[in-house]
Structure formats: structure tokens, C-alpha cells
Structure 1
Amino acid sequence: MRTFKEFQHHIDLHRERVVKLGLALAKTHFPALNLKTLESFLWLHDHSKTLTNYQSLKKYEYNHSLFPAERLFEFYGRTPKTNEETLQLIDVVNDINAIDEEVCVEFFKLHADLSWGIQDAFYTVEKVADLVDRSLDPMAAEEFGHPMILASEFVQDPYMATLSIWLETHYHQITKDLSFSNPLCYKLAE
């Protein structure tokens, strides 16, 4: 990945894979969930990284000169080497997480009829889909600057590990043609 535009495309593909993975997981393991509502929720994944308008960032009290994804791109492909860099990366991640958390709060306010149990299921589906994608996406090791371990080995919760194993087994079938390493996807980012 050489440019910020390519990084944005990589983020878009990750978000699309999270949606597809989450829906596939829900269909098999959470059949009672409303898939249309879940899909709307899943499309909010990493929403903060798509914001490139200061007006929309103001409502989240975001006060940096660079957009969240631009700040994150500064760390692409490397691990921080100094304490100052580590603190800068933590600051970026905290800002991104705060925006995304607020986006989820807004979503559930609009869907106040969803019980806490359903909301928890939505979060579980999103978390597992995200972790599985990050562990199996060919670009993840490059993005994070280190080899990735399988989500099923990373998560501590046995239930989430079981869900992760199922998604890992079906990952390539579900995410076919949605990898940045796919020449077609790579060409689209140019």
C-alpha cells in the first residue's frame, strides 16, 4: 500500500467484508436476528475511518487537523518505535473508538426497540467478523507491521472462539474477490 487513497480503499474493502462475514455468521448462528437491521449496524463498522468532512467530525468533538484515517495511515505498516509514537497511536485509536462508539449509541437510540440481548448479539457478530477479517486478510500483517494470529486463538472467550472458527473455515468463500491483494480491487484503488 503506497498511498492514502489505497488505504481508504483497503478500509472500504474491510468494512464490506465485515458486513458479509457478519451476515453469514448471523444466518447460521443467530437466526432470530433481523438481518436488515443487523446489516445497517454492520455498515457502521469503522465509520470513523470514512469521515473526511470536518463538519461531520465536529459532532464527535474531534479536534485534529487530519482526518482519523489520515492519522492512522501515518502508522501503516509499522509498529511505533518510541514512547511518543506509541502515545500518538493510542491517541488515534482512542479517537477512532470514541467516534465509533458514539455512532453505535446513535444507532441504538434510533432502534430503541432492540433489547439489550439483541444489541449484545449485534456487537458479538461485529466483533467476531472484524477479528476474523483482520486475522485472515492478506493485507493485515502489512497494515499492522507484524504477523497476525487467528481470531480463534486470540479471543479469550470460548463462545467467541467457536464463532471465529466457523467464520475462519468459511472466510475465503464469503469474502471472495474482496481482498486488496486481488488485482481487480487493487486496480480500483489507483
Structure 2
Amino acid sequence: MTHPERVIEAEDTGLRFTTSVNLTRLQELVAEWLELIGEDPEREGLERTPQRVAEAWAFLTRGYRQNLQEIVNGAIFHVEENTMVVVKGIEFYSMCEHHLLPFFGHIHIGYLPQGKILGLSKFARIVDLYARRLQVQERLTQQVAQAIQDLLAPQGVAVVADGIHLCMMMRGVEKQHARTTTSAMLGIFRESPEARDEFYRLLSTTT
């Protein structure tokens, strides 16, 4: 069942966003969940929590209701020079599909064009498109790489993600300093050690 789109102004962030999520039903489920863990959803501090949580989850999972062509919005340009492009340090925030706890970090993207390039801000939007879903870092990394490959048909795409997972920090093994690094190499970056070396060399530069 689909629900009409509504423009929401989230109380706790001030952000405005469009959602077609059934917020009323989400609020009911949050209230029930609070009761199940032993809380009173009607006490003063929790009276508006179901609304806030419903709006937060609509925002955090908005990637399900977006598509690649919509967020790129035609920002693909033709070029003569096919020199490597590297975009470093794109922040991401996502939710682990195993425990519904956050994981976050940075994604670094490189590609070797083949006549087409993408507007730089669109790389951040592509990362958000896939990060704002229930995820695992391995799949997120691959999805970002494949999206760029599908859009531009470049000679190759390289994506590296470095993340911190609260499911390892707040529960379970409770390791506070563990980080996870994943990579996806497509095309020339998979086939050519020289291309991979250039990508990693550019990643390591600080100026």
C-alpha cells in the first residue's frame, strides 16, 4: 500500500524532507515498542518520542524512496581528457541491518573516465542514496561503485569505505577502536595494479 507524499519538518533537526512513509503507523509501533521494553510512552519525557522516532526513521531510510537518475538530475558532462578523478572523504551515515544500530565513516571514490564525468556533488548524493537504507558496509561499497559504473561507463571505478560500527561498540564484543575497511574495484582498477597504485597514492595525499 502506498501513502501520499507529505513534506515533514522534523522537530528535532529542523530539516524538511518529503516522505511517503505511513508515519501514523510508525508512531503506533514505536509506542508499542516502548511498552515492550518496560517504558511508559505517555510519561512526560516520552510523549512525543513516537512522532520524533517515526520522522527520524523516515529520514534515515529515505534512500528506499529515491532513485539514481533522479538524484543525478542530468549532471553528466562530456570531456576530452580522461584523467583519473578521486573524491575523498565523503561522510556517510547508515543503519546496520543486523541490529538496527548506526555505522558511519567516510567513502573515497576514484574513476577513470571514458568521455564522461559526473558533477562532483553528485558523488555525495549517490553515497547517501545507498547509505540511507538498512545496510552492511560491504554491500554499500559495491552499490556505490556499480552506480557510478552504470552511469558513466568509465574505464573503471574504485571505492573504499572506512567505517565505525556501533553494533561492535555498544553491544557484543564492545570494542571501541575497531574500524572496518571495504573496497570495490571495477574495470581497470581490478585489472591493472598500476591503476590501483595511482588511486591509492592519490588517496594518501593530504594537499
What TM-score do you get using the length of structure 2 for normalisation?
Answer: 0.27
* Structure with greater strand percent: 2
What TM-score do you get using the length of structure 1 for normalisation?
Answer: 0.29
Rg bigger for which structure? Answer: 2
* Structure with greater helix percent: 1
